Amino acid sequence: MRIALFATCIVDAMYPSTARATVSILERLGHEVIFPGGQACCGQMHVNSGYFKEALPVVANHVKAFEADEYDVAVAPSGSCAASVKHQHPMVARRCGDAGLEARAAAVGHKTYELSQLLVDVLGVTDAAAQLGSYFPHRITYHPSCHGMRLLRLGDRQLDLLRSVGGIELAELPEAEQCCGFGGTFSMKNADVSSAMLADKTANICGTGADLCAGGDASCLMHIGGGLSRQGSGVTTMHFAEILASTFEDPAAVTGDVRLTTGRTAR
Amino acid sequence: MSGTFLGMPSLPVFGIGNLHEHEPFPKAAHRELGNTQLRANLGHATRTIRDKRLAVVSELPDWEELRDAGRAVKESVMARLPELLEQFEANFTARGGTIHWARDAGEANRIVASLIREQGADEVVKVKSMATQEIGLNEYLEEQGIAAFETDLAELIVQLDHDKPSHILVPAIHKNRTQVRDIFLREMEGVDPELTNEPARLAAAARAHLRRKFLSAKVAVSGANFALADSGTLAVVESEGNGRMCLTLPETLITVMGVEKLLPAWEDLEVFMQLLPRSSTGERMNPYTSLWTGVTPDDGPQNVHLVLLDNGRSAALADEMGRSALHCIRCSACMNVCPVYERTGGHAYGSTYPGPIGAILSPLLTGITAEENNSLPYASSLCGACYDACPVKINIPDILVHLRGEDVDSKRGKKKLPSQMDLGMKAASWALYSGKNLGLVEKALPLGRIAAGPDKKITKLPGIAAGWTQSRDIPAPPGQSFRQWWNKEHQAPAGPAAAGTDVPGAEPAGPKENP
Ligand code: SF4
């Protein structure tokens, strides 16, 4: 299969190791990965903040970039960015009165998957240790991000994949389905409420005794990880793609609360 | 946005009354977050009711179908509201009731006061009602020299304390029982001075107090949960039985109801009587459901009135993206699952309608530019828990985003100086609208590493971004972006992504992270 990677802007710029891990996983399964070079961002920060007019060129760019290459499916290592491409893009085009773009956006959205969706539903991965050689000898917990859970209905896909990693120990996160408080510009506009939500999330994470909290959205992980780092908790966050990409020979490093960006070589 | 003709006076008439946030939500939230008693009570209460709701909802194999049915009925009501209202009016009038149309809160208040005065009464008993809170009826009646006594236990507590409800279903959720005892001792006439904070004793004290009012009042004022167009019937759903007393004992009954509460037919109650109790109190069935159709000779109130309230509902109905907010059956499930509400409580929203539904309904009824109501749609992380809980499937997150757009558009070209958020969004729009621009921005990533310093984290940012670093660090950016790494890896012209890549060059842009 020829798979187009939508890295998402935050992963591209801040967490390249997550995108590299995604490439590594897909190539291990024997697929060809391409990176449509015109891509930038899904535009959900603009949309969710009410800046529809400013979002339109961002949406148009994404559609153009993902029409430029031939591929079977596109994948994003992010629930909220995949949801934005699938649900918001046609809506933004419609709201701005561009019916042509609406149809094209819907077509791109139709071909776009969140990573765990692609792995489980399309590529048939059920046992990461056996099929990907995943090995990660750490005690972790897992936060299901809201958009993956409620907009994409990912269910336990990410968690099940993590469970099947060799050497891993999974601690259940109390009140896991409660939002971490990120919410894009909400974290700045309503910083007090966001911080109160974050405090409860980090307390629950620390209570599990895990070395790190895994998740499927870099933005939520940056928020949670930023809070854990500020509290000096020593607990860190990591995208599940990096855990799946980790092997016995080439393990992903967990290096305390500033591990936020220093990704390993994922190939 | 398309207009919908309602057969009522010139559109749109925005809502007035208790529908406003008086200070920006973040400011109100900041204050309420400091109230630890409130947070503890709310956290406990919402968690309990969340679990109860989930338990009774999971009993019904057709819960999702019920929600779909609820939404479909409400959609059809909104699509033919003028016709249904006329049908209801004809049936209600034929059974001896009198209908009054109120364009806004002011008109509704004046109608109710004059109806009470016609009876020569200077006090009324009240059934808990959102509509009368919305129009500020109690305060208006007080100005007119008429005393209104709330009979719902929690409403009574709030009223005696001269406070405001903080939850639409559990108005005194922010008070504990010792606080309640103190309020009773201070405000309740003839109360036993030895009153303790035991729930049973508190309830008995309230019962004795209310019984006197029920027996003496000549006029009752209520709201209504549903109105059935095919028979002209009104319905009140409640738990304590105080409503039943108000609806049956006094000679005159005045009901105030928003026009959106209509249902086409009796059969539709089947759907809503399954949805409402489970979603609100987490019960399979509520203890008291009272239905009345006009006047029944020699039985119950003989003088029956209904004030049909618009107060911004036509304006909300005219908003194609927002109108489904009118489907709300006031169950409060959305606030019980809302992480923002759970921490700030209802007072932070200013309006009678708090929580997720309040954050959309208040600005829809008043218009986005009224007072500080434009801050309400931002009072959400868009986690979507409210949409999942809503028994009539109102897509609250989408309407929040729609109203944010209305807010942004309402300010375009008006301000002397664009806000930091405006400027940030413009800059981000440029940076993110092509791979080339993002590639250029990413070349500056090493600068962030310098800013982060040796401990590889940024702990203080200026301006609106300071909100972020108030409780979170930002990691040092990586030495190279994914794009830069990819281009380096795939530099050979045969590389699958070579074509279409518009990132200029692929030279190293900083210290290599993983040599
Ligand atoms: S919006 Fe839905 S969940 Fe919230 S109170 Fe109304 S009906 Fe209930």
Ligand 1 atom nearest to B355, measured from its CA:
4
At which of B274, B296, B315 does a domain end? B315
Query: Which of B281, B330, B360, B398 for a ligand 1 pocket mutation test, highest count of atoms within 8 Å of Cβ?
Result: B330
In one-letter notation, the amino acid at residue B353 is Y
- Assess whether the C-beta atom of B359 lies below 6 angstroms from ligand 1: no
Rounded CA separation B347/B350 (Å): 6
Six-digit token string for B409 = 């558009």
Residue B380 covered by a domain: no
Closest alpha carbon within chain B to A18: B482
At which of B297, B315, B333 does a domain end? B315
Contacts of A34 in chain B (CB under 8 A): 496-497
Rounded CA separation B433/A55 (Å): 9
CATH no., domain A127-245? 3.40.50.1860
Cβ neighbourhood burial of B372 (10 Å; 0-12, 13-18, 19+): middle
Q: What share of chain B is helix, strand, coil (3-state, %, to 5)?
A: 50, 10, 40
Pick from B433, B480, B502: which is nearest to A58 by CB? B433
Rounded CA separation B366/B222 (Å): 23
Q: Which long-range contacts (CB under 8 A, 24 or more apart) does B33-38 make?
A: B33/A192, B33/A193, B33/A196, B33/B343, B33/B344, B35/B174, B35/B345, B37/B174, B37/B176, B38/B166, B38/B174, B38/B345
Residue B345 covered by a domain: no
Largest CA distance in chain B: 95
Q: Which residues of B332-364 are buried (b: 16+ CB within 10 A; e: fewer)?
A: bbbbbbbbbbbbbbbbbbbbbbbbbbbbbbbbb
From first to last of its 515 residues, chain B has per-residue pLDDT tens of 444 445 445 556 899 999 999 999 999 999 999 988 888 888 888 899 999 999 999 999 999 999 999 999 999 999 999 999 999 999 999 999 999 999 999 999 999 999 999 999 999 999 989 999 999 999 999 999 999 999 999 899 999 999 888 888 878 888 888 999 999 999 998 899 999 999 999 999 999 999 888 989 999 999 999 999 999 999 999 999 999 999 999 999 999 999 999 999 999 999 999 999 999 999 999 999 999 999 999 999 999 999 999 999 999 999 999 999 999 999 999 999 999 999 999 999 999 999 999 999 999 999 999 999 999 999 999 999 999 999 999 999 999 999 999 999 999 877 666 787 888 888 888 888 788 888 888 887 777 777 777 777 788 777 777 777 888 888 888 989 999 999 999 875 544 444 434 433 333 333 333 33
- Assess whether the C-beta atom of B205 lies below 6 angstroms from ligand 1: no
Largest CA distance in chain A: 53
CA B390–ligand 1 middle distance (angstroms):
5
Rounded CA separation A89/A104 (Å): 9
Nearest CA to ligand 1 atom 6: B328
Six-digit token string for A218 = 């870099």
Rounded CA separation B353/A29 (Å): 52
pLDDT at B412: 87
Rg (CA), chain A: 18
**What is the domain range of residue B308?**
25-315
Residue B381 covered by a domain: no
Rounded CA separation B490/A34 (Å): 10
Phi, psi of B293 (to 5 degrees): -125, 100
Residue B115 covered by a domain: yes
CATH of the domain at B37: 3.40.50.10420
Query: Hey, are the CB atoms on B468 and A226 less than 8 Å from each other?
Result: yes
Cβ neighbourhood burial of B492 (10 Å; 0-12, 13-18, 19+): exposed
In one-letter notation, the amino acid at residue A142 is Y
Contacts of B421 in chain A (CB under 8 A): 49, 185, 189
- Report the SS3 class of residue B289: strand
Nearest CA to ligand 1 atom 3: B390
Contacts of A14 in chain B (CB under 8 A): 475, 477-478
Parallel, antiparallel, or unpaired: how do β-strands A139-142 and A112-114 relate? unpaired
In terms of Cα–Cα distance, which of A127, A123, A122, A85 is closest to A104?
A85
The interface predicted TM-score of the complex, written ipTM, equals 0.93
B438 plus B304 within the same structural domain: no
Q: Which residues make up the CATH 3.40.50.1860 domain(s) of chain A? A: 127-245
In one-letter notation, the amino acid at residue B148 is A
Query: Which of B54, B272, B328 for a ligand 1 pocket mutation test, highest count of atoms within 8 Å of Cβ?
Result: B328
| Contact by Cβ (8 Å): A77, A19 | yes
pLDDT tens for each residue of B233-274: 999 999 999 999 999 999 999 999 999 999 999 999 999 999
Q: How many domains does chain B have?
A: 2
- Report the SS3 class of residue B177: helix
Q: What is this structure's pTM?
A: 0.91
- Report the SS3 class of residue A235: coil
Closest alpha carbon within chain B to A197: B339
Query: Which of B167, B169, B279 for a ligand 1 pocket mutation test, highest count of atoms within 8 Å of Cβ?
Result: B279
Six-digit token string for A118 = 């692609």
pLDDT at A258: 39
Contacts of B409 in chain A (CB under 8 A): 50, 53
Nearest CA to ligand 1 atom 2: B390
Six-digit token string for B109 = 């208040």
Give the distance, in angstroms, between the CA of residue B396 and the centroid of all CA atoms in the same chain. Answer: 10
Six-digit token string for A79 = 């629930």
CATH no., domain A2-121? 3.40.50
Nearest CA to ligand 1 atom 4: B334
Query: Hey, are the CB atoms on B477 and A196 less than 8 Å from each other?
Result: no
At which of B296, B315, B334 does a domain end? B315
| Contact by Cβ (8 Å): A147, A217 | yes
Query: Hey, are the CB atoms on B475 and A69 less than 8 Å from each other?
Result: no
Contacts of B405 in chain A (CB under 8 A): 50-52, 95
Six-digit token string for A252 = 């992903």
Cβ neighbourhood burial of B491 (10 Å; 0-12, 13-18, 19+): exposed
DSSP letters along A56-97, please? Answer: HHHHHHHHHHTTSS--SEEEES-HHHHHIIIIIHHHHHHHTT
Four-residue CA torsion sign, A73, A75, A79, A80: negative
pLDDT at B515: 30
In one-letter notation, the amino acid at residue B3 is G
Residues in contact with A116: Cβ distance below 8 Å, sequence separation at least 6, in sequence order:
A148, A154, A157, A158, A161, A216, A240
Rounded CA separation B122/B117 (Å): 7
